[in-house]
Amino acid sequence: MKRFIMGLICGLALSGASIAVAAVSNEVKATLFPSELRFYIDGKDNTGTEEVSVLKYNNRMYIPLRVFAEKLGSTVDYHAPKPGDTWASVDIFKVDDRDLTVRDTAGYVGMGHVDVQFAEHPTYLVSTPQITGAVKFYKTIPKGKQVVVAVLDKDNQQVAVTEPIQLRSRAVGDMAAGEVATFETNFPYVNPVEGYKLQARLVDETSWTYEQIDGVIQGAGGMTGNPLGVSIGSEHEVKKGQPVEIKVHMVNLSDSDTIVLSQPVSLEVQITKRNGDSQQLIRTLRTAPLTGTIYWRQGSAFTKLVWDQKDDKGRAVPAGEYTASIVLPTKAVGAAIKKPNTTQEYTIDSSMQTQFPIVIQ
């Protein structure tokens, strides 16, 4: 449970309210008129020169939320309803720059009201290590960059680095200078650090990115691996002609050790279409080579492939049901971090998580 609430999150029943009013009355009479809004904040007149339209309805006056909030030093973020949502929502954020003490050296972001959750038990999966808080963007994040958080000990030695931060409903690269959002990000399992410090960092976006997998992913219908497993996923239904983003994970399922891959491993993904009792090969894609660290206890590396809905000859495919699957088994070569001088060959097998249905509508 997060211990902070950054601003007020209001659900707006937009379409539902309109339908209810229409059922009761054939018309709604409201007056829209220009007004001068006067704000007295901390004893000072902060009235602007701009003209503001005010709505009068049922003997009440309604002023634009954004005007009101921004005059009080807050920022407003509107989120349209997503498919399946009933309501839109509005986030109102008010933070003091003096509280945003977790910064990067180049001055792109400031973070504050931060909650750090270590995994306290050394052997049992109680909860995923996580950092949550508020982030203000002082500059737009350049394309090809990501924001992460480093956990340092009291001597400023790096203990862990998080996956790229995730905002509630927007992409980090879409945030403009001055905008504020809440964020969350996971980091690898480490022992709790007394006197820890946090540092925001801008890092280069890479072909494979660290991500900590939360929840149970093994068992019936889940992932298999000893210790490495892979999975594939995408949107289940896509429109004709829409590029299909396919996400591939390699996960370390070991509860005892982190693995470092010393030789590049690339995964082949096949797009097939059912043809009678068999699958017809439509397209073959391949991930960028992966090397480096895959952290224990469901730490993973993930990458994205994009299928342009064309076959191997460049022809557009028709609507229908397709399957994206990873060609397995395959091998990976590396070593457990506790035995760095002992190279091992890891076999990666197929499971229910190594194929995914895609419907082109």
Q: Provide the residue ranges of all domains of the chain, joining segments of one domain with +.
A: 8-93, 97-205, 210-360
In whole angstroms, give the CA distance from residue 199 to residue 46.
36
3-state DSSP helix/strand/coil % of the chain, to nearest 5: 5, 45, 45
In whole angstroms, give the CA distance from residue 185 to residue 195.
20
Question: Residue 124: is its pLDDT beyond 60?
Answer: no
- Name the pTM for this structure: 0.79
What per-residue confidence (pLDDT) applies to 45? 64
Task: Please state the rounded mean pLDDT for residues 69-87.
Answer: 73
What's the pLDDT band for 226 if we cut at 50, 70, 90?
Answer: confident
In whole angstroms, give the CA distance from residue 182 to residue 91.
10
Residues 9-32 pLDDT 10s: 333 332 333 333 334 445 656 666
* Contacts of residue 132, Cβ cutoff 8 Å, sequence gap at least 6: 2, 4, 114, 115, 117, 182, 183, 184, 185
Q: Which residue has the higher pLDDT, 88 or 258?
A: 258
Domains 97-205 and 210-360 share a fold: yes
What's the pLDDT band for 85 if we cut at 50, 70, 90?
Answer: confident
- Contact between 253 and 228 under an 8 Å Cβ cutoff? The reply is yes
Q: Strands of 209-212's sheet, edge to edge? A: 209-212, 299-307, 244-252, 228-233
Q: Is the dihedral of CA 338, 214, 290, 143 positive or negative?
A: negative
Specify the range with the lowest mean pLDDT, choosing from 28-32, 167-171, 345-349. Answer: 28-32
Q: Which residue has the higher pLDDT, 67 or 99?
A: 99
Q: Which residue has the higher pLDDT, 37 or 98?
A: 98
In whole angstroms, give the CA distance from residue 104 to residue 140.
13
CATH homologous superfamily, domain 210-360: Immunoglobulins (2.60.40.10)
Task: Please state the rounded mean pLDDT for residues 42-46.
Answer: 62
CATH architecture of 97-205: Sandwich (2.60)
Average pLDDT of the chain, as a whole number: 85
* Contacts of residue 314, Cβ cutoff 8 Å, sequence gap at least 6: none
DSSP labels for 281-333? EEEEEEPPPEEEEE-TTTEEEEEEEEE-SB-TTSPBPPSEEEEEEE---EEEE
Which three-class secondary structure state does DSSP give residue 57? strand
Q: Which residue has the higher pLDDT, 199 or 50?
A: 199
Report the percentage of the chain scoring pLDDT > 70. 82
**Omega before 83 within 30 of 0, i.e. cis:** no
